[in-house]
A and B are shown apart, each in its own frame.
Chain A
Amino acid sequence: MPVDLEIVSPEKLLLSRPVDMVVIPAAEGEMGVLVNHSPMIVLLRGGTIRLYEGNTIVDQLFVTGGFAEVTQARVTVLANEATPVRELTKAEGQSRLAAADAAYAAADKNDIVVLDLLMDRQQSARAMIEAAAA
């Protein structure tokens, strides 16, 4: 039985299709979701969402972070942006990393909320470079 995957950005519904398994980059480690998974709400980090049909990967999308809601029949990914992995470029990731590093260096080191956010941005940029290289 397939599980329905939906990837939504604030601007539009990006993807909606049934897949056999989806691997999502949860904040605490990658998570493979099959049908009848127990209901969860997870935080995502920057990484690749992999769509499986049988044992083959049919699509790979890079997300910079977001949330996912998992129910028994459905996976909903709320992401600010999702790019097909083959369209990623290393240069884009590097420029993002440079921007995030600069913002981190300039940030107030006592403001944990902002630092946390910026560290996430650095992580997501690094993940982007990695995904582009692979």
Chain B
Amino acid sequence: MPSLKTLRNRIASVKSTQKITSAMKMVAASKLRRAQSQAEAARPYAERMERMMASLGASVAGSPTAPKLLVGTGADKVHLLIPVTADRGLAGAFNSNIGRLTRNIAQRLEAEGRTVKILAVGRKGRDYLKREMASRLVGDISYAGRKSIGFADAEDIALRATAMLHAGEFDVCTVIYNKYVSVIAQIPTEMRLIPAPVPDVAPATEASGAQILYEYEPDEETMLARLLPQNMAIQIYRALLESAAGEHGARMSAMDNATRNAGDMIKRLSQTYNRARQANITRELIEIISGAEAL
């Protein structure tokens, strides 16, 4: 039976832990709101980009001179995986889900006789993959200590991947990130980046419902060569934003759970404390009474 003093100390310590977790939950909630509005603001550009891609991609896809970003190198030997994780922990299974999915994909690809390279985005993912599969890691990017991510960050990643593609370092590129569904649900998702999947939306239509035939200036191929890297950066940007929103959502629910657990623990501990206190009083009373009887 622990003494009353140690029980009191434990209760105090659990109480301060609870204060911290509930504060972290509040912070995560407000960051989540910001991340959500950032993701929302990015949507118009992505939508319009997708529309252009759809009409352009369809007209060029078949040609033999189509750019590498669209059709890949034609081979399927070396895969580059880009797992996107957070820079901080305490977000439930948010980071380890990505780590695990990356490992599974890598193992599956290797079992099929392909080579895997990993470019880790985010500190947690890098740490995990360094332990698990250090030999495949070719680089890492981290935004630790930064307030928010901008489009320039996504462009950086896209440039790096493009440079690697042109240097012939990989054939297929896949981004693995947590897709934000709701505060309590983030789904680890793989999204192929190169060769670029041509979006499957119907070509833009005006109110009349008729399909529009665009003229291109300059020609389709020059246009596509410019549009593709931009589209890639946009896809990465979207993944980064979804992942950021997911991170805060995951942290929010993790911290909510922690706060509740701390509450339960405080309840249990104070019950033990009260019982011990009463036992003490009873014992003292018995001692006094039996002392008096002995006289």
Contacts and interface: CB of A to CB of B under 8 A. Distances in A.
A10 B151 contact: yes
Interface residues of B, number: 34
A26 B45 CA distance: 19
A111 B151 CA distance: 25
Nearest to B151: A10
Most chain B beta-carbon contacts within 10 A, residue among A10, A28, A76, A78 = A10
B262 to A, nearest CB: 39
A23 interface: no
A17 B44 CA distance: 15
Interface residues of A, number: 26
B170 interface: no
Given A41-B223, A43-B226, A78-B48, A12 B42 contact: yes
Contact of A67 (B38, B44, B204, B226): B226
Contacts, number: 80
Nearest to B206: A71
Most chain A beta-carbon contacts within 10 A, residue among B45, B48, B214 = B45
Interface string A35-78: 00011111100000000000000000000000101011100101
A8 interface: yes
Nearest to A42: B217
A13 interface: yes
Contact of A43 (B150, B213, B222, B234): B222
Contact of B45 (A9, A71, A113): A9
Nearest to A9: B45
B206 A76 contact: no
Interface in B202-225: 204, 206, 212-218, 222-223, 225
B217 A69 contact: no
B223 A72 contact: no
A26 to B, nearest CB: 6
A80 interface: yes
Nearest to A11: B151
A111 B166 contact: yes
Contacts of B234: 10
B48 A40 contact: no
B82 interface: no
Most chain A beta-carbon contacts within 10 A, residue among B55, B154, B204, B225 = B204
Nearest to A73: B206
A23 to B, nearest CB: 15
A27 interface: yes
A39 B213 contact: yes
B295 interface: no
Contacts of A11: 38, 41-42, 45, 150-151
Interface string A72-103: 11001010100000000000000000000000
A120 to B, nearest CB: 9
A41 B52 contact: yes
Instruction: Name the 10 nearest CB pairs between A and B, nearest first.
Output: A12-B41, A10-B151, A8-B45, A39-B212, A42-B217, A40-B215, A13-B44, A41-B214, A10-B45, A39-B214
22 contacts: A9-B151, A10-B42, A10-B234, A11-B42, A13-B44, A27-B218, A28-B217, A28-B218, A39-B212, A39-B213, A40-B217, A41-B56, A41-B215, A41-B216, A43-B217, A43-B218, A67-B52, A67-B223, A71-B204, A71-B206, A71-B212, A78-B52
